[in-house]
Amino acid sequence: MVKKYYIMIVDDDPLIGGMICRYLDEKSGFKTRYFESSTKALKQAIKNKPDMIILDWAMPELSGLQFLLRLRKNRKIKDVPVFMLTSKRTGGDFETACSAGVDGYLTKPINFNNLNNRIVGYFADE
């Protein structure tokens, strides 16, 4: 039996979050859950550890970077892989995300096929 991975999508834009969830559900059969609130998402991640988190950087409560730093400090969820999905494109942003412990970095606008392939590839390498 193939494991059905649980992926948490955290983005303050419900249109983007919903599109990512639908695409990943339909394309690869991932179990996804969308969160518009980064604060609620972090609490839920601690409560019900996901297999991966797709995280927007620019968020109104906790930024994606703040979320990632808090996640990496929590021993229960510090090893959850995180892919940052952002419109931040400079090398300095990428380096900052890498220093904080991001596992993947993808820029907007979203190439859904590329996003799916990166996620599938990540789990295939486990």
Write the pLDDT tens digit of every residue in 97-117: 889 999 999 988 999 999 999
Do β-strands 52-56 and 31-35 pair in parallel, antiparallel, or remain unpaired?
unpaired
Nearest to 52 by CA among 90, 110, 95, 106: 106
Q: Rounded mean pLDDT of 38-48?
A: 97
Which CATH superfamily does the domain covering 6-124 fall into?
Response regulator (3.40.50.2300)
Q: How far apart are CA 116 and CA 119, in angstroms?
A: 5
Q: Residue 126: is its pLDDT beyond 80?
A: no
The pLDDT of residue 1: 34
Q: What is the pTM of this model?
A: 0.93
